[in-house]
């Protein structure tokens, strides 16, 4: 019986006989191959799970990307065509003109650049607190970064503000429309003539360029072309995105065809809408001071830091240190967070 030894005693590989030694070696190799070869040739359950997870994540990311593209393609248009081929406004969206975008972005860019320079300007000065080339490069970079960041953030915010403002004006005009409609119905006019009288009244009150005047003209145009008044009001309510207008169009549709008391419906809707707007105005009056304080709170740190840096260059050098930059970032973040929370708390909808 022959024995085979390794290079040292610790690596001694005994195999009794040539055949047994070869068998052991082959078995080990085969064991390695069978243990792991099956995993390479035939995936183990763990590897299949990992691969499926990877494929699932890839498919999910792809689906999200496709949904995003589909959503972008399905963006609501700014205008619709009425049944009488009149251009009507979609109040649920607002798209700025190029002139508006340029103007608002420029304003936000200047404000952001100023804020960035006040908080993070003057870095990399030498030991004599004199600006270096790095200081100028840093200042320019900070101005551009903060300017672009403010512009990107401000444009969507301003767009939402303009959209809500347009809705708010439309809601106010709609209340006056209901008041005029109630007066006309109480005077004995039928519904169609009442809307014609409302058109004339509001045209004098607001002018022909007002949204509500144009919307009534669209309704009257539809009536003249054999479309029902409730159909036109329903279209107006859907495009307006205002809950009160939508509710009025739905109640009017049911009552008008089933012989409901249109006078009471219009009067009650006008009273409810007037009460809601009066309450909203009272709340707005009560929180006006708090809103002003919130706006002052976000502006004051910029003014204070600017005053400190301009009056005391030695003290301003503390802001250029690593700890000063970190403290400035944290403080700026806290101020912005408190401003956002304050705005959310004061958004009271009725």
Tens-binned pLDDT, residue by residue, of the chain (350 aa): 444 434 444 444 434 444 444 444 444 444 444 444 444 444 566 556 655 655 665 556 666 666 655 554 468 898 898 888 899 999 999 999 999 999 999 999 999 999 999 888 888 877 777 788 988 899 899 999 999 999 999 999 999 999 999 999 999 999 999 999 999 988 888 889 999 999 999 999 999 889 999 999 999 999 999 999 989 999 999 999 998 899 889 888 888 877 778 888 888 888 888 888 888 888 888 888 888 888 888 888 888 888 888 887 777 777 778 888 888 888 888 888 888 888 888 877 76
Note the pTM of the prediction, 2 decimals. 0.71
Distance CA 30, CA 281 (A): 85
Distance CA 343, CA 153 (A): 16
CB contact set of 96 (below 8 Å; sequence gap of 6+): 104, 155, 158, 159, 162
In eight-state DSSP terms, residue 132 is -
Q: DSSP per residue over 277-325, as a string?
A: HHHHHHHHHHHHHHHHHHHHHHHHHHHHHHHHHHH-HHHHGGGGSHHHH
CB contact set of 144 (below 8 Å; sequence gap of 6+): 113
The domain limits of the chain are 1-35, 45-75, 153-345
């Amino acid at each position: 019986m022959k024995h085979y030894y390794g290079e040292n005693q610790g690596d001694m590989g005994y195999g009794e006989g040539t055949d047994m030694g070869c068998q052991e070696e082959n078995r080990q190799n085969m064991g390695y191959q069978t243990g792991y070869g099956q995993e390479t040739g035939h995936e183990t359950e763990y590897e299949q799970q990992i691969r499926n997870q990877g494929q699932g994540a890839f498919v999910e990311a792809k689906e999200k990307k496709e949904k995003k593209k589909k959503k972008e393609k399905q963006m609501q248009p700014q205008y619709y065509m009425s049944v009488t081929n009149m251009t009507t406004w979609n109040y649920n969206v607002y798209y700025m003109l190029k002139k508006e975008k340029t103007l608002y972005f420029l304003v936000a860019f200047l404000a952001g650049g100023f804020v960035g320079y006040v908080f993070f300007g003057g870095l990399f000065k030498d030991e004599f607190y004199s600006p270096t080339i790095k200081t100028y490069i840093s200042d320019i970079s900070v101005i551009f970064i903060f300017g672009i960041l403010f512009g990107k953030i401000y444009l969507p915010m301003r767009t939402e503000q303009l959209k809500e403002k347009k809705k708010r004006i439309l809601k106010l005009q709609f209340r006056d429309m209901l008041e005029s409609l109630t007066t006309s119905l109480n005077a004995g006019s039928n519904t169609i003539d009442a809307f014609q009288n409302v058109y004339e009244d509001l045209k004098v009150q607001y002018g022909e360029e007002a949204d509500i005047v144009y919307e009534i003209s669209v309704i009257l145009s539809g009536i003249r072309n054999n479309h029902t008044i409730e159909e036109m009001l329903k279209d107006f309510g859907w495009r307006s995105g205002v809950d009160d207008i939508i509710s009025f169009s739905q109640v009017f549709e049911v009552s008008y065809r089933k012989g409901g008391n249109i006078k009471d419906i219009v009067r009650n809707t006008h009273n409810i809408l007037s009460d809601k707007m009066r309450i909203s105005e009272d709340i707005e009056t009560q929180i006006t001071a708090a809103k002003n304080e919130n706006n002052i709170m976000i502006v004051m740190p910029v003014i204070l830091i600017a005053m400190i840096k301009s009056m005391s260059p030695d003290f301003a050098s503390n802001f250029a240190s690593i700890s000063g930059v970190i403290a400035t970032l944290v403080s700026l973040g806290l101020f912005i967070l408190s401003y956002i929370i304050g705005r959310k708390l004061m958004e009271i909808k009725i």
